Amino acid sequence: MVQIRQHLVSAAVSIKVTGGRKNTRRKVCIHETDNTKKGRGQTTTLDCKLLKQVGIDLWMAKKLEAVQSFTHDWQYWAAGSTQGNNEAIQVEMYVNSDGDYVRTIQNTAALIA
């Protein structure tokens, strides 16, 4: 079972980096970092920036944990279209060259289910 840990971005910051609280939550949009570097530790700065833009950080290749950055009603930019951004809960998978990609996909599927 995937554990979800909430580490919510404050409303003051969220309003600056999102489109507001107009997400209708009809879909799920899954994105991956496709990081070619080894190790998650090397992407700490990237992680912090991304967590201000996406809904759930899925760092699960080595442990079963998802970190929720926003409640699902926030609209943020990840789907590639205004409609997708307004209708989808955004999920970010952290993928590194030395991670377990298959496990990350399996864990993401478990979370979405």
Q: What contacts 99, CB < 8 A, 6 or more positions away?
A: 40, 61, 62
Neighbours of 71 (CB within 10 A): 16
All domains in the chain, ordered by first residue: 3-112 (3.40.80.10)
Residues 35-90: pLDDT tens digits? 777 765 444 444 544 454 444 544 444 566 778 888 899 888 778 888 988 999 98
Q: What is the pLDDT of residue 95?
A: 78
pLDDT band of residue 113 (cuts 50, 70, 90) is confident
Residue 55 near residue 79 (C-beta atoms within 8 A): no
- 29 pLDDT higher than 80: yes
> What pLDDT does residue 47 have?
52
- State the pLDDT at residue 39: 63
Question: Coil, helix or strand for 27?
Answer: strand
Q: Whole-prediction pTM value?
A: 0.73
* d(C-alpha 12, C-alpha 16), whole Å: 7
What does the pLDDT read at residue 26?
94
pLDDT of residue 56: 54
What mean pLDDT is reported for the chain? 76
